[in-house]
Amino acid sequence: RIWRLVWGCVAVAIEAVVALKTLAQSKRRLSAVLTDEQRCELVVAMAQDVLSCLMAHPEIEAVHAVCGEGWARSDFPEGALVMWEEAKSREGGLIAAYEMVAAKTAAEGLLFIHADLPFLRQEDVSAVISASVDHHAVLSPDLPETGTNAVLRWRHQSLPLCFGEGSFARHQQAAKATGTPWRAVRANGVARDVDEPENLDRLDRKDPDLGEATARWSAATDINLLMSATHHAC
């Protein structure tokens, strides 16, 4: 197994960080069409798919999960996974959770990536890593290109994380302000997140790109009824 991205004769360590909110509070916008149990099961399934993809990727040396309340080790795939408690990030919030891990790891490159990406594939992660050659930061947006679903940043870079509303534009502005060279990667598996009720339309278990855990959730849930309710609500 190859553990490091090698440029010339230099081995470069890249680690991934996934932040998981308190489970009961995750994806509250989906409550319009999902029961609390269905919503939590979907959140766990998507996180399992994202972590499985990252943990199996040959160029990711380590995977970190920053967890709020309600998560257990048994929720995650077996294998090497570094777990952190969100409460240990002093200021709280997504960015603080990511930066807590960034301050504690010695990795040269860190891939900050969201947990609601059930279509994430090995080739999506490879595309982001490949774009970071020559120590460029990488920004990977959602489908409408308003939010950012993944950022790869190098240790020597001062690029601040700007996740939240309008983050794709704000990340670009921050890169320019700090003189950080960067590239954008529009990867299908990174772009297709699940935030809003209408996004449930994407979870067709017959889609070959849909992660196994999320596909099982879709098969066990009356997705047609959910989509009908979604369209009625809209």
Single pTM value for the model: 0.90
Average pLDDT, the chain: 89
- Scan for tokens 């120590």, then name that residue: 135
Q: What is the pLDDT of residue 80?
A: 85
**184 neighbors 148 (Cβ within 8 angstroms):** no
Helix (H) or strand (E) holding 63: strand 62-67
Q: What is the pLDDT of residue 56?
A: 95
Inter-helix orientation angle 36-56/212-220, to 10°: 160
**45 neighbors 213 (Cβ within 8 angstroms):** yes
Q: Which of 152, 134, 135 is nearest to 16 (CA)?
A: 152
Angle at 129 between CA 143 and CA 58, to 5 degrees: 115
Which residue ranges of the chain lie beneath pLDDT 50?
A: 1-4, 7-10, 234
Q: What is the pLDDT of residue 206?
A: 86
**pLDDT of 117-154, one tens digit each?**
999 999 999 999 999 999 999 999 999 999 999 999 99
Question: What's the rounded Cα separation, in Å, for the pair 168 and 77?
Answer: 30
